[in-house]
A and B are shown apart, each in its own frame.
Chain A
Amino acid sequence: MNLLNYAVKRLGFMLATLLGVVTFTFVLVRAAGDPDQVMIGPDLDPSVRETLREAYGLDESLFTQYVKFIGNAATGDLGTSFQYRAPVADVLGEKLVNTLLLLLPALALGMGLGMVLGVLAGAFWGRPLDAVITRFALLVRAAPLFWVATLVLLLFSYTLGWFPSGGMFDPGSGAGESFTARVLSLEFLRRLVLPLGVTVLLIMVWPLLTMRTAMLDVMKQDFMQVLEAAGMSRTRILFRHGARNALLPVVSLMPSMIGFLVGGQVVVETVFSWPGMGRELVASVDAFDYPVLQGGFLLTATVVIVVGVLADIAYAYLDPRVRLT
């Protein structure tokens, strides 16, 4: 099978999965009880109630509602937030920016750091350096993330006082400045350090452990010895030639990692009061803001699905063998 066919097949699967998630969300909306009762309230005058039912499209058949729900979701119309009285897409869009401000640097740092440490651990397999790195990674993996985050907050913010305890900006500052200017300020960076550090910790464990195992195979191969015999420096051999060959498994890690990461983000944002998607998702439950809750889930699941399929296609591009299956 060539790459194009493979990509088309995966994209087809992606669409089917997206449809599945939208259907799941729709069923959930209905399972929560008659939306009529939940959203409009039972005590209204029947005529007002009828008007509202029509306004929300609840007078139509379940199937029509389902089709409309899919159409709306596909065009980014996720309904209106109960608490903000604004379109859910706008509410979530704003939060998504905040989340990405934290997540993207963390992803870059975490993947980089994890891969370097993984290469080192793999190259020094069974020796003290490997033991230290691997034990550390396994401990991080065993510790509940919210607990690590809480302890980091306790130590670096409350006890040592090095960093502020939460939020993106100093509540009093920045009036009149543009969002970009505020994000580029030192104050923002100071507030970014702790949540970023915890997210990096969460991310780096994955490529680290995978890279370590992959390096063990690479180290045994002839070309590594040839390079060493040719007199190339060890650092160059490891990182330019060895690591490159151990990269593939890290790509195949992406689909399962991204779902995990999204969950971690919810926790980190909650502990550090970071006004992102994750925190909004948690808050929407207490505010009974169902449209934001369901829209947030839909958006998150979509990101996970799309990233997963893109990673699959990237993997097939890098390693033609997988296209055969």
Chain B
Amino acid sequence: MTAPTPLDQALPATSGTDEPPDLRPPSSWKLVWRDRRARAGAVVILLFALVALLAPLIAPYHPLERLVGPDGDLLRLQPPSLEHPFGTSNYGRDLFSQAIWGTRRTLQVGVIAAVVAVVIGTNIGLIAGFAGGWVEQVLMRLNDAALALPFVPLAIVLIGTLGRSDVVLIIAIALVFWRIPARVVRAEVLVLKELGFVRAATCGGATRRRILYRQIAPNILPYAFLYGMLLTAEAVIAEATLSFLGFAPRDALSLGTIMFDAFSSQQIRQAWWWPLFPGLMIMAFVVAVSLLSEAYERLLSLEGVDR
């Protein structure tokens, strides 16, 4: 055995076992989990994910089935009851089942759009921060210009000319929302690229691409993750808003289209429950995301990125 170094002495005693002490900092998830509010957010998000995944198993009825009561009448506009917790629509459809299926689509579009926006934004931020010079100038001016794209009108004009489809919706979301992660990632890269390990890699003869994607990129992953979460919430609201305005694909069923049906059927005068519950669900999801991401963001700003 070698003589104890100052570092060894600074470490806690291992109380006689041969096991080396676990010196790794607790994972960021463990730290986030200690926050009560973040925990609540994580549980709610998990619940939504489960509902979306298991929709066919949970939904008590087919979302489009026209339900008939024991007396043979269509169950039109029934207020919430144990049998139909969210009530029924003017066609006698079970709104609880619709909300469950709608959650599936809403989350699908939300997550895909957020991932696309974050992947684009992160890469642009990485390249802008690392390349510098005119590349950075051009990309950052583009970033400024993206601020000028008002999301709803942009989405309407895209859907109006290219047609109603999820792809167009996702393009619209990505076009507007890539700018925020790009900006943050670039700022982070500017700091990272001056650090020792990057210089070491440069001296070791690593290619620029390798340095960017192997050395630098892993360090900004927490930010990509944070903005992935935040943008999912944004995208969920965006999808719901456009669906409410009547721009969802024709046969789509999402939390937004349920509220579109409610509004456009002009039945909300009688059926307050129809638009109420899908909106509450969206709100619950958005609040849950912000609780979790706030805790995660606090952690990132406290620790900086693990370097």
Contact = CB atoms under 8 A, between A and B. Distances in A.
A203 B197 CA distance: 46
Given A142-B287, A300-B153, A21 B161 contact: no
B225 to A, nearest CB: 21
Interface centre among A13, A142, A267 (most CB of B within 10 A): A142
A74 interface: no
Interface in B254-307: 259, 262-263, 268-269, 272, 275-276, 278-279, 282-283, 286-287, 290
A259 B263 contact: no
Contacts of B13: none
A130 B192 CA distance: 38
Contact of A296 (B153, B241, B269, B278): B153
B148 A305 contact: yes
A304 B268 CA distance: 34
B145 A285 contact: no
A122 to B, nearest CB: 18
Given A147-B259, A151-B279, A256-B147, A266 B287 contact: no
Interface residues of B, number: 40
B160 interface: yes
B279 A143 contact: yes
Contact of A263 (B145, B152, B157, B290): B152
A150 B268 contact: yes
B234 to A, nearest CB: 11
A178 B161 CA distance: 37
A262 B160 contact: no
A266 B269 CA distance: 22
Nearest to B284: A142
A259 B152 CA distance: 9
Interface stretch (B59-67, B116-124, B242-250): B242-250
Interface in A116-144: 138-139, 142-144
Interface in A146-190: 146-148, 150-151, 153-154, 158-159
A271 B241 contact: no
Contacts of B244: 144, 146-147, 267
B150 interface: yes
12 contacts: A139-B283, A142-B283, A143-B279, A144-B240, A144-B241, A146-B244, A147-B244, A147-B279, A150-B262, A267-B244, A297-B156, A304-B150
